[in-house]
Structure 1
Amino acid sequence: MSPPLIGITTYGRGENNRFYLPAQYVDAVRRAGGIPLLLPPGEPHAESLLVQLEGLILTGGGDLDPALYGGAPHPAIYMVDPERDKSEIALVQYSAQSALPTLGICRGSQIINVALGGTLIEHLPDAVGETILHRLPPREPTQHSIRLTPGCRLAEILFQEEFLAPSWHHQAIRRPAPGLKVVGQAPDGTAEAVEMSDHPWLIGVQWHPELAAAEEPLHQKLFNGLVSAASEWKRR
């Protein structure tokens, strides 16, 4: 059987009229044994493409339009891209209906929550302070600890309930969508991982496992788990 095809969303169209994606996402999928397929936003024939996928990764990037979740404008919100928001909401809805194995990373976790009816914190320091830094100024990654709920699917994949993770965000889930369960938190209470209860494999993580996956097997396990689930989905 051929390796599973894993769709990976890209960032939106940039000022130079190019789509962009950090190579670490592609590298992590290849190490896991999957075939990466980049999915730029705005595809008019998305349904014809989606039926060929065996797995999906919703990547990080800029912020969602706060109007999508009843949020308020905030000066820290940046890189809002209506085309990307619309495309990725449709991807989440397809995943929820089809049971396609899906991993949301940072923004990807947030788009899962918003697409299914949840809300976001517009600027995390306003809600939880800055005792725990989730990114360094002006917009640089850092790391902090994560604690998972014992027995959750994610803990079973990682074989670990507490660990350090690369963090690079200023927003997070405020109210989980119906059907989503928070299964991971930072020390300040920020939601760091969610799972969809009635989906065979839909996980969102607020941290950036792709940044550490090449050097730290713990974070590569998340991509391995997705590709393994995609292989099973392909067999079925």
Structure 2
Amino acid sequence: MKPIIAVTANCEDEYAGLKHAYSEWILKAGGIPVIVPFGLGDEEVRTLCGATHGLLLSGGPDIDPDYYGEQPLPQLGRITPERDRQELLLIREYMAEQKPIFAICRGLQVLNVALGGSLYQDVYSQCRALKHSQNAPRSHLSHRVRAEADSRIGRIAGAAEFKTNSFHHQAVKDVAPGMRVTAKAEDGIVEAIECESARFVVGVQWHPEDTAGVDDVSRKLFEQFVEACRGEQA
């Protein structure tokens, strides 16, 4: 049977919205995506976790810096309090149950915060950063990333360096306990984190759902995530 994968959505006024590409690549990799509605509490999150085989954290807006002990800087973008609240619950439950998590862009950031890390609220004012919000089609690979050879990302890439797309202005500052930085951009911005003690807990700062059709690294990330979720059916 195909694994069922919970996918977080964006919180837009009265709607929960999700770009189709996330579901498309889960389906192509052999999984069945289900969009998580808003308003879930502890009990509902536990039930959802028990009924699914993995969690994909999708991209989206900024995270409330209060969750990592900071006041908002002027460069902080839009935040979605209900999404922050619910995704923190989801991450902690799926981690506690040792189920696979694939975290994309904002997903990487909220994963890091949920597990005790912090963020740069704006890399352009807080770091000497390259351009990380490209003015190019979403499928364009815009800057280079260097991966640790002994990491999942490094093994998938099969090379020390590869290219990704880029659409963000926040990034990991202090990495959460239990997580390892496994890829960085040339300016030092964290591009991937992994939990080495888990079957599959991987966060990437780029958007592989937009490049999986043209980039082997992005496609293999979806395939390995869905394969890890399939292992939860045993």
What SS is found at the alignment partner of 2:17? coil
1:164 deviates by 0.8
| Pairing partner for 2:18 from 17, 21, 42 | 21
The residue aligned with 1:103 is 102
How far apart in 1 are the matches of 2:35 and 2:76? 25
The residue aligned with 2:119 is 120
| One-letter amino acid matched to 1:135 | S
> Closer, same or farther in 2 for the Cα pair 1:232/1:160, shift >3 Å?
farther
The residue aligned with 1:151 is 150
User: Would the aligned equivalents of 2:134 and 2:166 in 1 still touch at CA under 8 Å?
Assistant: no
1:55 deviates by 1.3
The count of aligned residue pairs is 230
1:158 deviates by 3.6
How far apart in 2 are the matches of 1:212 and 1:170? 19
The residue aligned with 2:131 is 133
How far apart in 2 are the matches of 1:96 and 1:113? 12
1:188-227 map, 5 Å: 188-227=187-226
How far apart in 2 are the matches of 1:72 and 1:145? 32
Aligned-residue Cα RMSD (Å) equals: 1.7
How far apart in 2 are the matches of 1:161 and 1:41? 40
1:42 deviates by 2.0
How far apart in 2 are the matches of 1:216 and 1:116? 30
Task: Deviation per CA, 1:128-162: give whole Å up to 9, x if none.
Answer: 234x200047x986721111001112222343432
Normalised by the length of structure 2, the TM-score is 0.93
User: Would the aligned equivalents of 1:11 and 1:19 in 2 still touch at CA under 8 Å?
Assistant: yes
| One-letter amino acid matched to 2:150 | G
> Closer, same or farther in 2 for the Cα pair 1:140/1:68, shift >3 Å?
farther
1:70 deviates by 1.4
User: Would the aligned equivalents of 2:156 and 2:217 in 1 still touch at CA under 8 Å?
Assistant: no
Normalised by the length of structure 1, the TM-score is 0.92
How far apart in 2 are the matches of 1:136 and 1:76? 18
| One-letter amino acid matched to 1:108 | G
Consecutive unaligned residues in structure 2, runs of 5 or more: none
| One-letter amino acid matched to 1:38 | I
User: Would the aligned equivalents of 1:72 and 1:122 in 2 still touch at CA under 8 Å?
Assistant: no
How far apart in 2 are the matches of 1:158 and 1:30? 22
Say if 2:49 is the partner of 1:50. yes
User: Would the aligned equivalents of 1:11 and 1:40 in 2 still touch at CA under 8 Å?
Assistant: no
What SS is found at the alignment partner of 1:146? strand
1:197 deviates by 2.8
Task: Deviation per CA, 1:36-74: give whole Å up to 9, x if none.
Answer: 111133224222121011111001100000111012312
Say if 2:219 is the partner of 1:231. no
The residue aligned with 1:73 is 72
Give structure 1 regions of 4+ aligned residues with deviation exceeding 6 angstroms: none
Among all aligned residue pairs of Structure 1 and Structure 2, give the percentage whose two residues are the same amino acid.
34
The residue aligned with 2:60 is 61
Deviates more, 1:158-167 or 1:220-229: 158-167
1:78 deviates by 2.1
How far apart in 1 are the matches of 2:46 and 2:126? 38
